[in-house]
Chain A
Amino acid sequence: MDTFAQLLVGGLLTGLVFALVAVGLTLVYGVMDVVNFAHGEFLMLAMYAALGLALIGIGPLLGLPLVAIALFLFGIVVYRVFIRRLLAGPPEATVFGTFGLLVLLQGAAQATLTSDFQSVPNPPLQGTIHLGPIALSQASLVEGIGALVLTAALFAFVEYTETGRAMRALAEDRVAATLMGIDVQRVNGLAFGIGAACVGAAGSLLMLSYPVYPTAGAPFALTAFVVVALGGFGSIQGALVGALLVGLLEVFGGFYLAPELKMVPVYVAYLAVVLLRPQGLLGRR
C-alpha cells in the first residue's frame, strides 16, 4: 500500500512536468496545425541555458524567467525565419521541416557542447520531505508544483486575454478569424514563442534533478507527443489530464515491469487511444 501511494504521488509529480512540456506543443498545434518535432530540442536548449546560468551563479529557479524569456524570443525568431515558410508549402513540409530542425539542433549541441552528461553543480533542494509513509525529494516536489502553476498560468492566458482569444479563434476557424481582423502571422509567432517559453520554464525546473546532454529533450518530447494525442490535439486541459495519466503509466510501468520498459505501457496506451478514440480523451472531432 505504501509503495502504491509512493508511486502514485511520484507519477503525478512526473506527470505535471510532462504537462508543462506538452501544453507548449498543443498550443502550437491548435493555433497553426503544426506538430513541432523539434520541441524536445527546444527543451534541451533551455536545459543548457539553465546550466550556463547556474555556472555563473544564477541557480535554476532564479534563472527560470530569464530562460523562459530567451526561449520565447528564440521561438519567435524560429517562427519568423522558418516555420512561416513551411506553412506556405505542402502539409508534409511542416512535418519533415521541424524534424530537420530536431536533427540540426541535436547535432549542433553535440558538436559544440559534447555528448557528456552535465548537471548543475551543488544544486539546491537536495533534501527529502516525508508525508506520512511517502518520501519525496524536494526537487521533484518543486518541479511538479512549479509546472502546475505555470500550466495554470498558460491556461488563464489563453482563456482570459485578448491574445489568448485570438489564438482560440485561429484554432477554431482560421479563415473566419482572419476575416475578423486577426493578424495571423503575429498570433502564430506569439503562440510559437509561448510554446517555446513553456519548455524554457520546464528546462529550468528539470535542471534541479536531471543532467543535460544533446538528446536529453527527446524522451520528454516523445512523451509530450503521446500526451497531446491522448488528451486531444490542441486541448490544454486534455494535455494536463493526458500528462498525469502518462506520468502514472510510466512510473507504475517502470516499477512493475522493468525500468527500461517504462515507456511500453505509454506507447501501448497511445496506440489503443488512437484506435478507439482518435480525437483523444478530451478532444473534439
Chain B
Amino acid sequence: MTAKPHLYALGAIVVLGLLAAFGLHEAVVLDLVFTLLLYAVLGQSWNWISGYAGNISFGHAIFFGCGAYASALCVTHGLSPWLAIPAGALAAAALALVTGFPTLGLRGHYFSIATIAVAALVETFARTTPWLGKANGFELPIASGWAALQFPQKGPYVVLALVLFAAVQLATIALERSRLGYYLRALRANHAAAASVGIDERRCKLIAFAWSAMMASAAGVLYAQYTLFIDPPSTLALAISIDIALIGVVGGIGTLWGPAAGALVYVVLAKAVALRFGGAGKGYDLVIYGAIICLIAALRPYGIVGTIVDALRRRRGAVA
C-alpha cells in the first residue's frame, strides 16, 4: 500500500490550517479549528489501542488528564510548560503500562474493565489529593510568548494543534507500514496463528498503548495551555472518555482518517446539541451520542471511513 495519497491529503490539511491560523481572526472559527484538531488527535490516540490493537479503552481521558495536570503543575511551580510534554508523556505511559501489563496479553474483556477501574481510581486520586488541586483543579497564571506556551491570539494555538495533528497522523502512517502495525493486524486477524509464529501479543500491544497514552497526554498539555483552567470534570471524567471513544468509533476503528472524520462529526454534533438543547449536562447530548454509538455498533461497526473503504473495494472488485 502506498502512503502518497495520505501524505498529499495531510499536506493539504496543513496548508489549509496554516491559512486559517494566519488569515482568519474570528476567534469563534479558530476555536472550532483548534478543537477539531485536538479531538482528531485524541481520537487517533484512542484508535491506536482500540482500533489497530483491538482493545477498547473506556478510560482514555486519564492520559489526556496526565498532560493537562503536568502542564498545570509545571506552570504553577514556576517551571516551563514545555517540560510538561515529556513529564506528562512519562506519567501517561506509566499509567498505560500499569493498566496494560496485567491485561493486554489476555483474551476476553479484562483490558476494557481495567481501563474503567484505573480511570475511576485516577479521578478519585486527583479529587482527593491536595497537590493535585482536589476538586477545584488549577487556574494557570497568565503569561505570553513561546517560552510560556501562551498566546493572546488563537492563531499560534491552531499552529501548535496542527503540528501535533500532523505528527500523530505521520506516526499512524508509519505504524500502518511498520513491523508493529503488521503484527497488530496479524493478532487481530488470528491471534493464535500470530502467536504461533512468535509474535508477542502483550509486548506489541503495550507498545501501541504507551504511544497512544503519550499522544493523548500531548493533547492534554495543549488543552491546559489553551483554556488555562483544568479540573477533574474537564480532563479526567468518564464523560471525556465517552467523547474520545465516540470520536474513534464514529469515524471508523482501525483506519487512518477515521478519527479525523469522527472529530468533524463530533464537533458539528456538539454544536447542534448545544444550539438545540442548551449544552451538556441535561442528558440530551448523552442520548444522542449513545444512540449513535449503538447504531454504528449494530449497523456499521467500521464507521464512516470503514464503510467508504468497503464501498471502494467492492467497486474496484466489480471493475476487475
Contact of B113 among A106, A226, A275 (CB under 8 A): A226
Contact of B112 among A35, A85, A101 (CB under 8 A): A35
Q: Are A93 and B297 in contact (CB under 8 A)?
A: yes
Q: Which residue of chain A has its CB nearest to the CB of B248?
A: A96
Q: Are A267 and B117 in contact (CB under 8 A)?
A: yes
Number of A-B contacts (CB under 8 A): 140
Enumerate chain A residues within 8 angstroms of B312, measured Cβ to Cβ: none
Which stretch, B36-44, B171-179, B219-227, B287-295, touches the partner chain A?
A: B287-295
Which stretch, B13-21, B100-108, B154-162, touches the partner chain A?
A: B100-108
Q: Are A263 and B124 in contact (CB under 8 A)?
A: yes
- With both chains docked as a complex, state the minimum distance between the C-beta of A37 and any C-beta of chain B, in angstroms: 8
Known contacts A96-B245, A110-B286: does B297 contact A270 (CB below 8 Å)? no
Contact of A275 among B102, B245, B289, B297 (CB under 8 A): B102
Q: Are B103 and A274 in contact (CB under 8 A)?
A: yes
Enumerate chain B residues within 8 angstroms of A264, measured Cβ to Cβ: 121, 124
Enumerate chain B residues within 8 angstroms of A267, measured Cβ to Cβ: 117-118, 120-121
| Distance between Cα atoms of A88 and B87 in the complex (Å) | 43
B residues 76-117 near A (Cβ < 8 Å) are 98, 101-103, 106, 108-110, 112-114, 116-117
A252 within 8 A of partner (CB) = no
| Distance between Cα atoms of A253 and B288 in the complex (Å) | 38
Q: Are A111 and B120 in contact (CB under 8 A)?
A: no
| Distance between Cα atoms of A222 and B120 in the complex (Å) | 9
Q: Are B297 and A111 in contact (CB under 8 A)?
A: no
Known contacts A109-B283, A110-B283: does B50 contact A92 (CB below 8 Å)? yes
Q: Which residue of chain B has its CB nearest to the CB of A267?
A: B117
Q: Give the contact-size bracket for chain A.
A: 35 or more
Number of chain B residues close to chain A: CB under 8 A: 46
Q: Which residue of chain B has its CB nearest to the CB of A95?
A: B56
Q: Are B298 and A97 in contact (CB under 8 A)?
A: yes
| Distance between Cα atoms of A278 and B299 in the complex (Å) | 33
Q: Which residue of chain B has its CB nearest to the CB of A41?
A: B290
Q: Which residue of chain B has its CB nearest to the CB of A271?
A: B102
Contact of B110 among A104, A106, A278 (CB under 8 A): A278
| Distance between Cα atoms of A214 and B58 in the complex (Å) | 19
| Distance between Cα atoms of A91 and B50 in the complex (Å) | 12
B285 within 8 A of partner (CB) = yes
A210 within 8 A of partner (CB) = no
B residues 183-206 near A (Cβ < 8 Å) are none
B residues 46-75 near A (Cβ < 8 Å) are 50, 54, 56, 58
Q: Are A222 and B116 in contact (CB under 8 A)?
A: yes
A261 within 8 A of partner (CB) = yes
Q: Are A107 and B110 in contact (CB under 8 A)?
A: no
Q: Which residue of chain A has its CB nearest to the CB of B299?
A: A85
Question: What are the 5 closest A-B residue pairs judged by CB atoms, nearest first?
Answer: A107-B286, A104-B290, A110-B283, A100-B293, A97-B297
What residues of chain B have their CB less than 8 Å away from a CB belonging to chain A? 50, 54, 56, 58, 98, 101-103, 106, 108-110, 112-114, 116-118, 120-121, 124, 127-128, 242, 245, 249, 253, 282-294, 296-299, 301-302
A-B contact pairs, 25 of them (CB 8 A): A37-B58, A82-B294, A82-B298, A85-B298, A90-B302, A92-B253, A92-B301, A93-B298, A96-B249, A96-B293, A97-B293, A99-B245, A100-B292, A100-B297, A101-B290, A103-B286, A106-B283, A107-B285, A107-B286, A107-B289, A111-B287, A112-B283, A270-B117, A271-B118, A272-B102
What residues of chain A have their CB less than 8 Å away from a CB belonging to chain B? 35, 37, 82, 85-86, 89-97, 99-112, 115, 214, 222, 225-226, 229, 233, 258, 260-261, 263-264, 267, 270-272, 274-275, 278
